[in-house]
Amino acid sequence: MDMPIRVLVAKPGLDGHDRGAKVIARSLRDAGMEVIYTGLRQTPEQIVAAAIQEDVDVVAMSILSGAHNHLFPKVVNLLKEQGADDILIIGGGVIPEDDIPELKKSGVKAIFTPGTSTKDVVKYIENHIKR
């Protein structure tokens, strides 16, 4: 049996705009992945705990409030502390391009901004997970 890719889709921080996260969740499912959706207002600690218990291949986070510089790296670091740095971490949302290099340096492997095709996200995940 094929092992489906497991992805945690999370909304860290306080913003409630989950249209993008939900569209992504559905398209990943339609691409044959198992998506664990955790809903709004997740703390980095909750996201990491869920990622570990669910043994996911990918953590995909969405933020539209501008809190990404604080929250994305926090998730990366907490995963590292747990020895789970093999998990692919990607992010999306309203993220100014000037912030992207720094986020990538911190360990977020890819950033998807508005207008990204969900197919590109699927392709990116398929090509970059560690199995």
Partner 1 sequence: MFNDNEIINIKESKKKWESEVVDKAIKRFPERKEKFSTVSDIEVDRLYTPENMENSDYEKDLGYPGKYPYTRGVQPTMYRGRLWTMRQYAGFATAEESNKRYKYLLEQGQTGLSVAFDLPTQIGYDSDHSLSAGEVGKVGVAIDSLKDMEILFNGIPLDKVSTSMTINAPASVLLAMYIAVAEKQGVSQDKLRGTIQNDILKEYIARGTYIFPPEPSMRLITDIFEYCSKNVPKWNTISISGYHIREAGATAIQEVAFTLADGIAYVEAAIETGLDVDDFAPRLSFFFNAHNNLLEEIAKYRAARRIWAKIMKNRFKAKNEKSMKLKFHTQTAGCTLTAQQPDNNIIRVTVQALAAVLGGTQSLHTNSRDEALALPSEESVRIALRTQQVLAYESGVTETIDPLAGSYYIESLTDQIEEEAMKYIEKIDELGGMPQAVEKGYVQKEIQNSSYKYQMEVESNERIVVGVNKFQTEEKHHEDILKVDPEVERLQKEKINKLKSTRNNDEVKKNLANLKKLAKTDENLMPYILSAVKSYATLGEICDVLRSVFGEYEQSVIL
Partner 2 sequence: MNLEERLLHGDKRACARVITIMENNQKKAFEIIRNNYHKTGNAYVIGITGPPGSGKSTLTDRLTRELLNRGKKVGIIAIDPTSPFTGGAILGDRIRMNDLSLNENVFIRSMGTRGSLGGLSKAAQGAIKVLDIYGVDYIFVETVGVGQSEIDIVKAADTVLMVMVPNLGDDIQAIKAGIMEIADIFAINKSDIDGADKTQVEIEMNLDLNQGEDYRPPVLKVSARKNEGIGSLVDEIVGHREYLEETGELKKRRKRNTKMEILNLVEEELMEIIFSKMKKESSFDAIIDNVVSRKLDPYTARDNIIKLI
Give the footprint of partner 2 on this chain (CB under 8 A).
1-4, 6, 25-26, 28-39, 42, 45-46, 49-50, 52-55, 82-84
Closest distance to partner 1 from the beta carbon of 19 (Å): 5
Which two tokens mark 60?
Answer: 């995909």
Minimum distance from CB of 16 to partner 1 (Å)?
2
Distances (CA, A) of 101 to 68, 76, 82, 96, 109: 13, 15, 24, 10, 10
Q: Where are the beta strands (DSSP E) in 3-129?
A: 6-10, 34-37, 58-63, 88-93, 110-112
Q: Between 19 and 130, name the residue whose CB sits nearer to partner 1.
A: 19
Alpha carbon separation from 115 to 5, 39, 86 (Å, rounded): 24, 22, 28
Query: In the stretch 72-91, what mask flags binding to partner 1 with x, by CB under 8 A?
Result: --------------------
Judged by beta carbon, residue 25 or residue 51, the one nearer partner 1 is 25
Site string for partner 1, 10-49 (x = CB under 8 A): ---xxxxxxx--xx-xxx---------x-xxx-x------
Helix axes 118-128, 19-30, angle to 10 degrees: 60
